[in-house]
Amino acid sequence: MGARKRKASHELITNPLNKESKLEETPELPKVTGDLGNPDPPPDSGAERAKKKQNAVTRTVWTLIMIFGFMGLLAMGHPWVIVLVFFCQGLVYREVTTLFSMTHPRPAGGGDVHGYDAWDGTLNWYFFAVTNYFLYGESIIYYFKHVVFSEAQFLPFATNHRFISFMLYTIGFVGFVGSLKKQYLKHQFGLFGWVHMTLLVIVVSSHFIVNNILEGLIWFLVPASLVICNDIFAYICGITFGRTPLIKLSPKKTVEGFVGAFMCTLVFAVVWSTIFMRYPYMICPVHDLGTHAWSEVHCRPNSVFLWREFELWTPINMFFSSLFRLGHPMPPIPYAPFQLHALAMATFASLVAPFGGFFASGFKRAFDIKDFGDSIPGHGGMTDRMDCQFLMGMFSYVYYSALIREHHATVGSVLQTIVSSLAVDEQIELFLDLKRYLEGAGVSIPT
């Protein structure tokens, strides 16, 4: 026995890489965790399976809560959906700005450390508030001209909004420069740049999403649904057919899942758009913030929602007619232009928007974290759920503004021109002339 141990020790000294050494047969002690010294359970243990099951239940429950909560807010009206966007935006902003402290820990040195920490939080949220004041104010002035320019108490806000916003930003900038300390300079300038990039990527994108809501809920619902649909089908197609890795930043993403999700999202886009384009509540721009799903909503619909008929080219029509032995020309195919626009948005949601998720994956790898936070039980942080939505929302607004929006003269736009361009005596003259015209046309004017 002693001779065998001495031989094993000699082999270990003379040939430490010898894998057949008897000493390596000694079982490895389990890792100890916690105060009580309980060993970590093996990966396939019952405790691990129970934990995975509990996570799946939690994830499912919160998924249902988010789905039904979203549907409820959608039915309650535009203001509630805007509040939802603002709430999500705030959580994402908090999660992303919190990451700054992970790469830039509190610098060493003397000074008022408590005051330094307080300024970090003040800087973050002051610029967040000023940016939202400017962007939401722009939306209110643009979409509610008929209210803002008809009430005298709102005129100072409407006519001086941009100047007020700039001065508020200037106050923050002066305060930042005045707070600079020699021992904290690198940290403070890093935070300043981090905050501004976060505002650009998150808050400005959210502003476009809010504008989509005010243009009509369908411009918010359909793009957001397409991203969710693509994400779901990418998972389903990936675990069913996935074999080829797609991108190194997300090892679980596969080419088969990516292509399969693209095809499924195109079909979903046609069906989903056809359903919701039939409801005035979904397609009408907001005019009254008190409107909800059960309100009587009327508007002149955008031409993309009007049904049309597509006539097949005569040779093709004759070919299909003979192929199917109809004995008569094929009837025209009904369609609405919005269905084609939905296909374009589905293409972006499938081929480009996922790169917002890949960007977020690279971001998390850079910080060596699994999730951005734990705002949603079972789902991680709000940023993990919204990484593609910001890019999709911005695209939807730019696409709508460039290719779909119809510009008509409205009461609000005319009123804005009158209030901002005519003197008071000219406004009175215009009012009297308009009153005289209406009375001459036999229109009774309410007093």
Per-residue pLDDT of 50-68, as tens digits, reads: 877 787 888 788 888 888 9
What is the pLDDT, as a whole number, of residue 207? 93
What is the pLDDT, as a whole number, of residue 386? 86
What is the pLDDT, as a whole number, of residue 153? 79
Which residue(s) pair with 333 in the sheet? 310
Per-residue pLDDT of 329-343, as tens digits, reads: 888 889 999 999 999
Mean pLDDT, the chain, whole residue set: 82
In percent, the amount of the chain with pLDDT more than 90 equals 37
Per-residue pLDDT of 377-416, as tens digits, reads: 877 788 888 888 999 999 999 999 999 988 766 776 777 7
79-116 CB burial, b ≥16 within 10 A, e <16: eebbeebbebbbbbbbbbbebbeeeeeeeeeeeeeeeb
What is the pLDDT, as a whole number, of residue 322? 82
Which candidate, 222, 14, 211, 198, places its Cα nearest to that of 99?
198
Are the C-beta atoms of residues 279 and 66 closer than 8 Å to each other? Answer: no
Helix (H) or strand (E) holding 250: strand 250-254
Are the C-beta atoms of residues 292 and 77 closer than 8 Å to each other? Answer: yes
Q: Which amino acid is located at 334 in the chain? A: P
Helix (H) or strand (E) holding 245: strand 245-247
pTM (predicted TM-score): 0.77
Reported confidence tier of residue 211, pLDDT bands at 50, 70, 90: very high
CA distances from 443 to 70, 145, 146, 436, 440 (A): 45, 25, 22, 10, 7
What is the pLDDT, as a whole number, of residue 185? 85
What is the pLDDT, as a whole number, of residue 109? 53
What is the pLDDT, as a whole number, of residue 269? 96
Are the C-beta atoms of residues 244 and 225 closer than 8 Å to each other? Answer: no
Q: Residue 285, exposed/middle/buried by CB under 10 A (0-12, 13-18, 19+)?
A: middle
What is the pLDDT, as a whole number, of residue 73? 92
What is the pLDDT, as a whole number, of residue 348? 96
The strand pair at 38-39 and 308-310 is best described as: unpaired
Contacts of 275 (CB under 8 A, 6+ apart): none
